[in-house]
Amino acid sequence: MRSSLLLVLCGFWLSCPAWGQTDSPTGQPMAVKVSGGLNAYAGFYTANGIAARNQASPFGLSGSVTVALPGGISLPFSAVLGNQGSSFRQPFNQFGVSPTYKWATVHAGYRNVSFSPFTLAGHTFLGGGVELNPGNLRLGAVYGRFNKAISTNLAEPDIIPAYQRTGYALKVGYGKSGNYIDLLMLRAHDDSSSIASVPQSATQTVTPAENMVVGATSRLLIIKHITVELDAAVSAYTRDVRSTEVSAEGRNSITRFFGKFFTPRLSTQLTQATQAAIGYRTKNAGVKFQYKRIDPNFQTMGAYYFQSDIESYAIAPNLSLMNGKLRLSGSYGIQYDNLDNNKNARTGRTIGSLVVSYNPATAFGIDVQLSNYGISQQAGLRPVIDTVKLAQNNFSATVNTRYTIQSEEVVSLFTLSATRQQLSDLNQRTAAFTNNTNTNLNLGYFYQRVKSGLGANLLVSYTEAALAQGMSTKFYGPTLGATKNFLTNKLSTSVNASYLINKQSDLNGQPLNGQVINASANASYQIAKRQNVNLQLLYLNSDTGVADQRYNELRGTFGYGISF
């Protein structure tokens, strides 16, 4: 709490302009510029008919500061402070900075850096790092804490424990953006002594782990029109560092080299991931061939999630005609799992899509998107039983059109969009429980006066869902909105309201009729050159026709912001 208050005080102090003295080429002192902003808000929330989905009196404070130093060095800082739950508790706060000077960037604090999709891929860490790109050389290194230790306690039994995890990542490469090759390495491990002994259960197994990943990533322009993309990695992941070490007998020279950084154990699994593409591109046409394979259970501690156990092939062509007024692009591919042939069944997917965009004039345009995804199963370790066999087709079509009428004073825009989604179950034994169709139509009109700031919009929407077992639901109705500026544009206001009629049927075919009313009002006033206050009110009244699903909510927020 003390550190949070200190940060807020520092933010107010930094809001004052500051200049540093340094010599410029002309002999005049160069200014150190400080810019940023501070925002504070407080509000209320009430609900009837349901349990509260927000705190009764939310409030918060956020700020950002950017220090621009001579020579092009930029130091951005940011902070967030707010309450959680019904009472004020330790706020969520993360601070970090990544100053850049010419070809050098330094990372400090909470940062997320990406070296490649299969090594360090945007995982947040607390620590430091550097990225250097002098000429064609590409260097990078980061080190820090990837996970904070979390212990279980009797007061909060649902907390999932976690060991403290630290690690580092290295990058060495050559080339420029869009035409380079990088070699990468990531090493991370859990501290088994960072938390007390974790009780194991059938639903929760937490063990200290260790991981080392080596990989390569590249984007290469082979000749004028051909590009090659490659991301590949090999991951050695130990699920429990307390397991028995594997003997080093018979290791080759490469294994012995990496053995200096990683100790193989009985719980270690070696997996790999690869994605590659080769593309051909001319002025008006192009095509790309793509391949991806991710082994079962592939993991890296430098990323949060991977879809593993997949292999896919795809082709993606594109074409531009009529001087760019007509554009076509699409893709078709196949994907399947069970790469180790150890599942009861293999699941295959076919993936196809088509996008057509026609814009003959500035005032008119139409876009059409089609996609078709099929999924089926083949026998694996066991034959596939007809009653549970998975065989489905998912079709989707979307059409968007626009027409604009514009003059010096008024802009009018008409829009029409339609979407159709259909899930077809090809297994007759399960189709009655899974088939469904969704249709959505939207007709909109938007009006804007350029000088006065008066604007209005009208949207009429219709949504219908035909669900399994004869169930259906419909929502339709209008949405109205308006915006207007007052006091020489110092005061900006807007209001929106929607009324949707709900019609649905239950499993017995009985009709259930209801309505949903949603309204909002916003106002923002500029009280000074760089200061403003804003007010927001939101109201929701929902009645779906089911007695225990009738509720209403009202929330409001008042905020103050200052920039410097």
Question: Tokens 């808000």 correspond to what residue?
Answer: 41
If asked whether residues 118 and 173 sit together in one domain, one would say: yes
- Choose the final residue of a domain: 64, 93, 122: 93
Looking at residue 75, its amino acid is L
105 and 56, same domain (yes or no): no
Calpha distance 202→199 (Å, rounded): 10
Note whether 180 and 146 are same-domain residues.
yes
Alpha helices in 73-123 (DSSP H): none
Domain that holds residue 69: 1-93
- At 385 the pLDDT is 60
CB 352 within 8 A of CB 318: no
Say yes or no: 131 and 171 in one domain. Answer: yes
Cβ-contact 55, 79 below 8 angstroms: no
> Tens digit of pLDDT for each residue in 446-474?
999 988 889 999 999 999 988 776 678 89
Q: Which of 59, 93, 127 is the last residue of a domain?
A: 93
Domain ends where: 260, 293, 308?
308
Do 161 and 303 lie in one domain? The reply is yes
Whether residues 181 and 85 share a domain: the answer is: no
Residue 79 and residue 191 in one domain? no
- Of the candidates 380, 319, 344, 304, which has an alpha carbon nearest to the alpha carbon of residue 146? 304
Question: What pLDDT is attached to residue 271?
Answer: 93
Domain count of the fold of the chain: 2
Question: What's the pLDDT score for residue 248?
Answer: 57
Question: Which pTM does this prediction carry?
Answer: 0.72
- Share the mean pLDDT of the chain: 84
Contacting residues for 134 by C-beta, under 8 A, at least 6 apart: 103
Residues 97/126, Cβ–Cβ less than 8 Å: no
Whether residues 139 and 227 fall in one domain:
yes
Are both 108 and 42 inside the same structural domain?
no
Tokens 């489905």 sit on residue: 392
71, 149: one domain: no
**539 falls within a domain:** no
> Are 474 and 464 contacting, i.e. CB atoms less than 8 angstroms apart?
yes
pLDDT digits (tens, 9 = 90+) for 213-260: 999 999 998 888 999 999 999 999 999 999 998 875 556 666 666 777
* pLDDT at residue 76, rounded to an integer: 73
Domain presence at residue 350 = no
Place of tokens 């700031």: 453
177: CB partners within 8 A, 6+ apart: none
Mean per-residue pLDDT, 1-28 = 38
Query: Would residue 82 count as lying in a domain?
Result: yes
89 and 109 belong to one structural domain: no
Q: Are residues 67 and 146 in the same domain?
A: no
Residue 536 inside a domain? The answer is: no
Residue 435 resides in a domain: no
Q: Report yes or no on 275 lying in a domain.
A: yes
